[in-house]
Amino acid sequence: MTKFAKFLGIASSIALALGVAACHKETTAEKQVKAQADAIDKGYEADAKMVEANAKGTAGEKAAEKQADALRDKGDAVEDHLKKEADELGKDTRNMPKADQPKN
């Protein structure tokens, strides 16, 4: 393969990658929902740490660990759900006619 053919192959790969990246530009609403999802997950994590800290060294420490794990699981589930919804929102927005799309 010639150097020009290699260069052309690399250039077309880069162009494809940039094109795919440009197609999935997150909307402002997507970014806001994902930021909110992260904040909610961090809140559940903080609650879990507080439950564990309050029970440390007590007879209820094992139960508190289970409660903290349940809080973390709930936070992860809420975060995953919201991020999935944000992705759907973005797809719906990108599929709208340009004139109807919200301005960022």
pLDDT digits (tens, 9 = 90+) for 29-65: 889 999 999 999 999 999 999 999 999 999 999 999 9
- The pair of structure tokens assigned to 41 is 């997950």
The parent domain of residue 90 ranges over 27-100
* CA proximity to 75, closest of 27, 35, 31, 42: 42
26 or 73, which is more confident? 73
Give, in degrees to the nearest 5, the angle at Cα 15 between 22 and 90.
15
Q: Tell me whether residue 7 is in a domain.
A: no
Q: Tell me whether residue 74 is in a domain.
A: yes
Share above pLDDT 70 across residues of the chain, in percent, rounded to a whole number: 69
Q: Tell me whether residue 80 is in a domain.
A: yes
pLDDT band at 99 (very low <50, low <70, confident <90, very high): low
Q: Tell me whether residue 84 is in a domain.
A: yes
Distance CA 74, CA 13 (A): 41
Q: Tell me whether residue 4 is in a domain.
A: no
Would you state the pLDDT for residue 37? 94
Q: Tell me whether residue 77 is in a domain.
A: yes
Distance CA 80, CA 41 (A): 9
Tell me what the pLDDT averaged over the chain comes to.
81
Q: Is the pTM of this model over 0.75?
A: no
Q: Tell me whether residue 19 is in a domain.
A: no
CA 12 to chain centre: 29
